[in-house]
Amino acid sequence: MKVHPRCTYCLLSRVHMEAELSTDDVDLMHEAILGGIEVLNSLYQPGMPAGELSTPIHRKTYEILNDNDPYLKMKELSSQTALRFMPVIRSHVFDGDEDDVATFKRAVLASVIGNYFDYGVMGLEVPIDVFDETFREHFRRGLDIDDTDKMLDKLSNVVYLADNCGEILIDTFVFEMIRKMGGKITLVVRGAPILNDVTMDEVKQFGIDKKVDQVLTTGSNAIGVCFDEAPKELKDALDNASLIISKGMANYETLSEENYKPIAYLLKVKCDPVGEDIGAPKGCSVARLFE
């Protein structure tokens, strides 16, 4: 995905948020904003890949704040919130139905809804206090773009690129169904903290490594996947996958610049630029396969 003019002020809103999460020092907040503006001035070019702008901005912010994980408390909150509601989410997914295909489709839907509960996307409030009600509402609505049927014959060797903390716990229902249907899963998480994304620390903390066949990392704290920094084992896994499942907008922004196929993008469209690029209006629940 190419950078959109609206990405610029969204990125700066993230810088501001990260500064507020990290410090009460207003002067340091100003310094972080100025650092973000400096990166914009030096790198921003119309038509450039979005990840080539977002990653340097966030890295500059973390450097100025001297904080390698400003989202730590928010990640813990999102994980605890997801854990609290896992029983009710599981009841929606499994629903007493012995039909594996129908259950897989519900698991994908739940995973996409989990992507809605995000921190730091401009204009998006995370309704923690009404999580249950909001989840039920989105579950009844279903997927706006639903290519899950086209994925069914491609589940033998899945590479699953994870997104945020919290929602990764909901993703485990997808893992469960893929393995039940005879498939293997290579889970891919960030190589180091960035935003509220999953790293190996959360994978081990919640025993998610026991629910998949292999866990790899992106090799760095880049937004999405920076292929210049990605380890060879990740590139090999992507080359050999029967299906790549890319979760969330950051992964979409970077993976859509590559030629890996078949690839399924599971996400809630939380901003207009992503919606325009993937072909779904803001607010849509998407499970779109590109072959």
Domains of the chain: 5-65 (1.10.8.380), 72-290 (3.40.50.10880)
Residue 212 near residue 185 (C-beta atoms within 8 A): yes
Place of tokens 């994925």: 151
Mean predicted confidence (pLDDT) in 91-106? 91
**CA–CA gap between residue 46 and residue 43 (Å, rounded):** 10
pTM for the whole structure = 0.94
**DSSP annotation of 190:** B
Q: Residue 84 — pLDDT band, cuts 50, 70, 90?
A: confident
**Considering only 16-25, 129-138, 193-202, 224-233, which range has the smallest mean pLDDT?**
129-138
Mean predicted confidence (pLDDT) in 62-84? 92
Looking at residue 121, what is its pLDDT?
43
pLDDT in tens, 156-168: 999 999 999 999 9
**Considering only 34-38, 51-55, 127-131, which range has the smallest mean pLDDT?**
127-131
Q: Residue 120 — pLDDT band, cuts 50, 70, 90?
A: very low
pLDDT above 70 as % of the chain? 95
Looking at residue 95, what is its pLDDT?
81
AA letter at 120: G
Supply the mean pLDDT for the chain. 93
What is the SS3 assignment for 244? strand
